Structure 1
């Protein structure tokens, strides 16, 4: 079956063919014909199986070749990364049409987004917060929206986003065409979604013989020690055939620490997490897609926005919170029909959490094998060459540590080539009396008291006796003067 067989017009088919997209995925085969008729749809399919084109192609085709200016379609997504990804896919599909698409999300300046809206953009892809912000300022009007889509709808309809989604729906007309898509769609979310839809059809594009996890992804689970994880990851990154790799961490701090550690070990890694500016996140994601960096460290903020077809490995540095989060994380590999490997580390304290995920996904791994960086099965499971270490280059010793290894006295001696301050030429210490800091031109009063003579008298006492014998202080002064003169003359 081809896209033409599904009713997609020639210019859209040609745009897809230019990127090597020829055959539709099952979710596209089932949703596109219904979406073209205006039927409300709840579409469910595993990650990486083409859901974006499942709603994007009917949406673009409905607008026509030359749509009038003004917002006619709204696609709401939970993350900035997914917003960029969906926009790129729609731009690809509509490159042969006079359709303008704008991304609306936080972390970037308002001016550029407002200019695109004023220029007549017909399709808006955005996150709820920024969309409502612009709508409240009357810079974005949703009154004429004909098609509304919630991508990753399970995330959009949970308690964190629900109030914002309700406000967005309230600003559109009741006759709009509504579509919801996600990889996971719990029953309560489906019931909630029906509030915003008109007799929707729930489509599940899955193989009856396939389990809850993707069959083209190999799942490997290890019970690992937290202090050994970096070394284990370093060795996995040397596995034969490894391509681009995504490592998921639980916290932003852990992501920042791990990217620094891997770069120090000689790997080329970037990061995407909430503490980074939007520009830094986009640069990191662009470098990863372009292959300038082959490792991406991310928190769950990016688990729904990384659409890169050549990711071969996903590593869960820590266990996800639930089985839905697990599916979205590991779904970054094995996309578009390719195979992938998902490695998950389970800490001893997280065994209960893993037990729930294992039971929900029927994975059959209740007790992950205890694994260390030196475990033989690690090398065998992941095709790691024997003898591989987790470091590509030696860690440079910081200057402060080098200085600390040489005491100041030794550094001074090694630089001068001679003795240090307070030492003799041969390096020995001088006697204590010679080390005492004393002026060279001391007066008699500054000098230490002389030792007494043999008869017990001191020189000062003898001078006093001589002055008394010479007849008083004046005489003594004269006598002293005379004695001084005679001494000077002699």
Structure 2
């Protein structure tokens, strides 16, 4: 194996890598670093999880020098926020032993912190196109001295959606610069387009032509599954022997959130990353997944290019990806850094035509996936699921027993209970007949007798004592026994004589 020291990397960078247990270089690093250090433009292509970030990051950091002057000297452009955070962390680790400063510029976060770091003299910027153009347009980001430019996931960056933004960014950097493009997939039209922004680039493919497009250390399983049974199948796969961290990809944001809720109800520790979440929530979910606090991450394709976690053992495609490139990026979240992994894909009946195209492009040899249900024996055998496993590891919370209704009691009993418990006063239940409505009884016996004495007095036509009105609706008494005040009627203003108002 070739070490980074053998490739001519500065000793302080070698020490930073060694502190994280990284000593030997991967093939893509071994081929691109010797060319990148002297300033050769490179188009680097290698499978996901094979160390492309260090392949372009080490030449960038080393070419800036041991103590670069303040101001942006290097620009690394990435398509997603998650990937921006990942690349920032890797580059920041490379600069741990030198004063070079790195800043991540992406949307969903407050401007103030990013602007402060730029004003403080950060030399390396890692960012997404939208926020980069925004800050450059406000003259808060000066790219006129950025002589090191990198496009990570270049096939995505040079696609039709991002291309106008990339052209704007390249118009702001110097014409004479060192440019590097890296990606796992690099179609021919994209390579032709990339040459517009480069000077005599060398195209390096760090793959074995006989190995095929997919990584040999990933086992690919494809099942034709019913949409109503997928949750149960996934829940049983999550209980397979030796399962570590797992990433589940869904087609839509709504499906991702629904699956998080469903697996949480079944007792699994799942988190989500999708476009309807705030950036802070997405970063919390990703941090919890990396730290092992959550072992299941459910995501849309927003995270297909931004999850770099070495111990992901399973990737599950809840629905078929749109194309073979998306499949490779999804499956590439497992089997990283030389480890093994399993990629499971569910194919709906209506998506068989889409799977046929992916199968042909990747030469899977599985044009007709086997029909699979949660009880299928081959599912248990393929994924080492223990016999008898069900799709729930936590029982649903038991509903609390309803409180017993209190039986009605007579006024005398209530008065006695209130007196014994020291309560202030209780309302009497409404009754029909000649009984008074709305009267109250006091907690002491004297008050009760006084209240009861008011009824016969009212019935015999005697004058009621102030404050003892019955308010039974048959008279004009107010609640205190006195006549209610007369209501004043509003007078209408007299109409003007001789015609109507104009």
Smaller-chain TM-score bracket: 0.7 to 0.9
1:440 aligns with 2:434: yes
How big is the shift at 1:39? 0.7
1:289 corresponds to = 290
How big is the shift at 1:29? 0.7
Q: How does 1:35-46 map to 2 (within 5 A)?
A: 35-46=36-47
Tell me the secondary structure at the aligned position of residue 395 of structure 1: coil
CA distance in 2 between counterparts of 1:331 and 1:362 reads: 17
How big is the shift at 1:208? 2.4
1:321-344 Cα deviation digits (max 9, x unpaired)? 000000000000000000000000
CA distance in 2 between counterparts of 1:373 and 1:281 reads: 31
CA distance in 2 between counterparts of 1:32 and 1:441 reads: 99
How big is the shift at 1:415? 2.6
CA distance in 1 between counterparts of 2:221 and 2:434 reads: 81
- Give the direction of change, closer, same or farther, for the CA distance of 1:352–1:65 in structure 2 (3 Å limit): same
1:90 aligns with 2:91: yes
Q: How does 1:221-240 map to 2 (within 5 A)?
A: 221-240=222-241
CA distance in 2 between counterparts of 1:382 and 1:122 reads: 48
User: Could you tell me the TM-score, scaled by structure 1's length?
Assistant: 0.83
1:90-109 Cα deviation digits (max 9, x unpaired)? 11111011110000000000
1:141 corresponds to = 142
CA distance in 1 between counterparts of 2:54 and 2:432 reads: 90
1:314 aligns with 2:315: yes
1:379 aligns with 2:380: yes
2:70 corresponds to = 69
Q: How does 1:89-238 map to 2 (within 5 A)?
A: 89-238=90-239
1:52-103 Cα deviation digits (max 9, x unpaired)? 0000001000011111000000000000000000000011111011110000
CA distance in 1 between counterparts of 2:409 and 2:187 reads: 77
Q: How does 1:9-20 map to 2 (within 5 A)?
A: 9-20=10-21
2:445 corresponds to = none
1:264 corresponds to = 265
Any gaps of 5 or more consecutive residues in structure 1? 404-410, 422-436, 443-490
Tell me the secondary structure at the aligned position of residue 150 of structure 2: strand
Structure with more of its chain in helix, by fraction: 1
CA distance in 2 between counterparts of 1:441 and 1:4 reads: 101
Any gaps of 5 or more consecutive residues in structure 2? 411-430, 437-502
How big is the shift at 1:419? 8.0
1:298 aligns with 2:299: yes
> Which of the two has higher C-alpha Rg?
1
Tell me the secondary structure at the aligned position of residue 371 of structure 2: strand
User: Could you tell me the TM-score, scaled by structure 2's length?
Assistant: 0.81
CA distance in 2 between counterparts of 1:398 and 1:250 reads: 35
Tell me the secondary structure at the aligned position of residue 343 of structure 1: strand
CA distance in 2 between counterparts of 1:171 and 1:387 reads: 62
1:136-157 Cα deviation digits (max 9, x unpaired)? 0000000001110000000001
2:53 corresponds to = 52
1:153-211 Cα deviation digits (max 9, x unpaired)? 00001111000000000011111100000000011111111110111111100012211
1:346-402 Cα deviation digits (max 9, x unpaired)? 000000000000000001111110000000000000000000111101122567xx8
How many residue pairs were aligned? 416
CA distance in 2 between counterparts of 1:387 and 1:327 reads: 33
How big is the shift at 1:441? 6.4
- Give the direction of change, closer, same or farther, for the CA distance of 1:214–1:441 in structure 2 (3 Å limit): closer
1:471 corresponds to = none
CA distance in 2 between counterparts of 1:78 and 1:71 reads: 20
